[in-house]
């Protein structure tokens, strides 16, 4: 590594020696810092002052209604340049997918290379959108919930056509319902080709139709496929210990036979490509979670989603995960129980459940302040936000996420990335974070341009005094002393690599 960008030994000692801050003497109301840290990806310059003026309650109310917050014109302009974002799955299949060839003809190497480039281009723009919104949008709670729900309904982007579907999946299935009703969110993910392909339900067929061609695809149907049905209960709704049986998994798989997608517009095909293929559906009566479901086609699946969304087990599972994300790795049982009751009483209104969480005594218990260790994604985004740099080149951020084992849209397994300390806190990861902090603080992280020759002049070093003010000067006595006695050119790196900044 270039000596100019080497990790300060004092910084590494500080973070590895004491990842738990103590004796903090903030100059800002701790409640303000707490609500900013939890409802957003961290403060940008001016955010803390804005929340002080608005008031904690006003900030919570505002963030729960993102439609009331105007997006900056600069962000809107940047997003408008990502031309693939507004393409539906049908458009993506048509414009970005494999070329249609006469029977018996195969793709040339050039055609394969062009296809891979098109797929990668769509995925890159999806990644750019996510990071742009996360770092610059004032609708921070919405962005936090996009991160939360995407992990909850995870789809791995490197599986076949999901590489080009992932951006539409996040936008239409996740972002559009992030603060709405859980049942709508559940349906949106269940109907999206990205999920249907990832968990193989696009091939799910009644056993007697297993020799029939899979609709709209060249492969043949594989008979009954339980993958999606199992994860729908275990991860998306009820939870693994909720008491469902293997017979329930089989029943749900049969209910969802024929839930697939088409690659071209045809009668019965929804705008996003979803298609119910009645020829592949099992029309027998089923018993699912004690409910008798008459064989009636696509309505069976909707009835099953209703049962799952209204289940007390689902209410508890979702409430536990929300409390774990926003309060503590081991959330208080009383809080989870109250959130579960709110979930059931409001028919799964996510906004209402979050409001109850943000007004709970557990959320405001001083022991929860900075009790959550940031995931690599949260750390990278919060560091960029704190500096106020407007990012044009996201490669350095994506590189850090790759190094730390959290590439964007890159979780292979359907359970998504975890948000607990035990997964992400280790010496190697801390060293990599500190290296990133040092490079970012010195102005040598090329976030403005992709031109390597202009890397050193792409941005100036970060003013430590401004950075301290942005973060409310909320550091422990030890960290304050370390910052005060260090050379000026290391102080911003010390702040971004401090134990306090590693937490939220």
CB-side exposure of 131: number of CA atoms within 13 Å? 29
Cβ density class 202-218: b for 16+ within 10 Å, e for less: bbbbbeebeeeebbbee
The pLDDT value recorded for residue 461 is 87
pLDDT digits (tens, 9 = 90+) for 456-481: 444 578 999 999 999 998 898 889 89
If you search the block for the tokens 């689902």, which residue do you land on? 314
Higher pLDDT, 143 or 444: 143
Cβ density class 161-177: b for 16+ within 10 Å, e for less: bbbbbbbbbbbbbbbeb
**CB within 8 Å of 373: residues ≥ 6 apart:** 19, 420, 421, 424, 425, 502, 503
Q: Is the separation of the CB atoms in 288 and 252 below 8 Å?
A: yes
Mean pLDDT calculated for residue range 34-46: 97
The pLDDT value recorded for residue 295 is 97
pLDDT exceeding 70 applies to what percent of the chain?
A: 90
Question: How far is Cα 359 from Cα 366, in angstroms, rounded to an integer?
Answer: 14
Query: How confident is residue 212, by pLDDT bands cut at 50, 70 and 90?
Result: very low
- Say whether pTM exceeds 0.75: yes
Chain centre to alpha carbon of residue 453: 33
Choice among 121-135, 214-228, 320-334, 365-379 with the minimum mean pLDDT: 214-228
pLDDT digits (tens, 9 = 90+) for 240-266: 999 999 999 999 999 999 999 999 999
The pLDDT value recorded for residue 11 is 56
Query: Left (φ > 0), alpha (ψ -120 to 50) or beta: where does 111 sit?
Result: alpha
By CB atoms closer than 10 A (0-12, 13-18, 19+), residue 81 is exposed
Structure tokens at 271: 């705008």
**Strand pairing report for 291-293 and 286-288:** antiparallel
pLDDT digits (tens, 9 = 90+) for 127-147: 999 999 999 999 999 999 999
pLDDT digits (tens, 9 = 90+) for 397-421: 999 999 999 999 999 999 999 999 9
Q: What count of other Cβ atoms lies within 10 Å of the Cβ of residue 387? A: 26
Q: For 153-203, where are the alpha helices, taking DSSP H only? A: 162-168, 182-190, 193-198
Question: How far is Cα 336 from Cα 327, in angstroms, rounded to an integer?
Answer: 11
pLDDT digits (tens, 9 = 90+) for 348-406: 999 999 999 999 999 999 999 999 999 999 999 999 999 999 888 999 999 999 999 99
Query: How confident is residue 450, by pLDDT bands cut at 50, 70 and 90?
Result: low
pLDDT at 21 over 80: no
């Amino acid at each position: 590594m270039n000596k100019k960008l080497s990790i300060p030994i004092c910084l590494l000692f500080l973070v590895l020696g004491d990842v738990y801050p103590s004796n903090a003497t903030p100059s800002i109301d701790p409640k303000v810092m707490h609500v900013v840290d939890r409802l957003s990806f961290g403060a940008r310059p001016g955010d803390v002052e804005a929340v002080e003026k608005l008031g904690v309650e006003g900030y919570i109310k505002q963030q729960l209604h993102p439609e009331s917050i105007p997006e900056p014109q600069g962000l809107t302009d940047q997003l408008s340049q990502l031309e693939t974002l507004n393409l539906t799955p049908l458009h993506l299949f048509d414009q970005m997918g494999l070329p249609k060839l006469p029977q018996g003809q195969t793709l040339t190497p050039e055609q394969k290379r062009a296809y891979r480039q098109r797929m990668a281009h769509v995925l890159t723009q999806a990644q750019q959108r996510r990071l742009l919104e996360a770092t610059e949008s004032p609708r921070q709670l919405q962005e936090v919930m996009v991160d939360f729900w995407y992990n909850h309904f995870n789809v791995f982007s490197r599986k076949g056509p999901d590489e080009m579907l992932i951006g539409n999946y996040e936008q239409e299935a996740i972002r559009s319902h992030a603060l709405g009703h859980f049942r709508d969110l559940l349906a949106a993910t269940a109907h999206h080709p990205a999920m249907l392909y990832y968990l193989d339900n696009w091939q799910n067929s009644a056993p007697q139709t297993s020799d029939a061609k899979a609709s709209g695809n060249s492969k043949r149907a594989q008979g009954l496929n339980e993958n999606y049905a199992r994860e729908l209960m275990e991860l998306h709704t009820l939870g693994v210990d909720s008491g469902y049986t293997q017979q329930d998994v089989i029943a749900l798989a049969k209910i969802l036979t024929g839930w697939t997608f088409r690659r071209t517009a045809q009668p019965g095909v929804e705008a996003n490509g979803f298609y119910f293929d009645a020829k592949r559906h099992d029309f027998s009566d089923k018993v699912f979670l004690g409910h008798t479901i008459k064989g009636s086609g696509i309505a069976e699946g909707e009835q099953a989603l209703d049962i799952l969304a209204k289940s007390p087990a689902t209410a508890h599972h979702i409430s536990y995960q929300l409390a774990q994300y926003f309060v503590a790795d081991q959330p208080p049982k009383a809080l989870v129980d109250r959130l579960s009751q709110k979930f059931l009483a409001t028919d799964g209104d996510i906004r209402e459940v979050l409001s109850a969480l943000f007004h709970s005594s557990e959320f405001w218990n001083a022991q929860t302040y900075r009790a959550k260790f940031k995931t690599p994604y949260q750390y990278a985004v919060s560091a960029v936000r704190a500096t106020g740099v407007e990012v044009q080149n996201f490669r350095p951020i994506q590189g850090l996420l790759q190094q730390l084992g959290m590439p964007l849209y890159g979780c292979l397994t359907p359970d998504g990335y975890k948000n607990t300390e035990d997964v992400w806190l280790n010496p190697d990861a801390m060293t990599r974070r500190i290296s990133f902090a040092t490079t970012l603080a010195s102005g040598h992280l090329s976030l403005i341009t992709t031109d390597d020759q202009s890397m050193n002049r792409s941005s100036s070093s970060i003013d430590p005094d401004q950075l301290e003010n942005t973060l409310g000067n909320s550091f422990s006595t030890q960290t304050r002393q370390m910052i005060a006695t260090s050379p000026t050119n290391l102080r911003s790196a010390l702040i971004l690599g401090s134990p306090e900044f590693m937490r939220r």
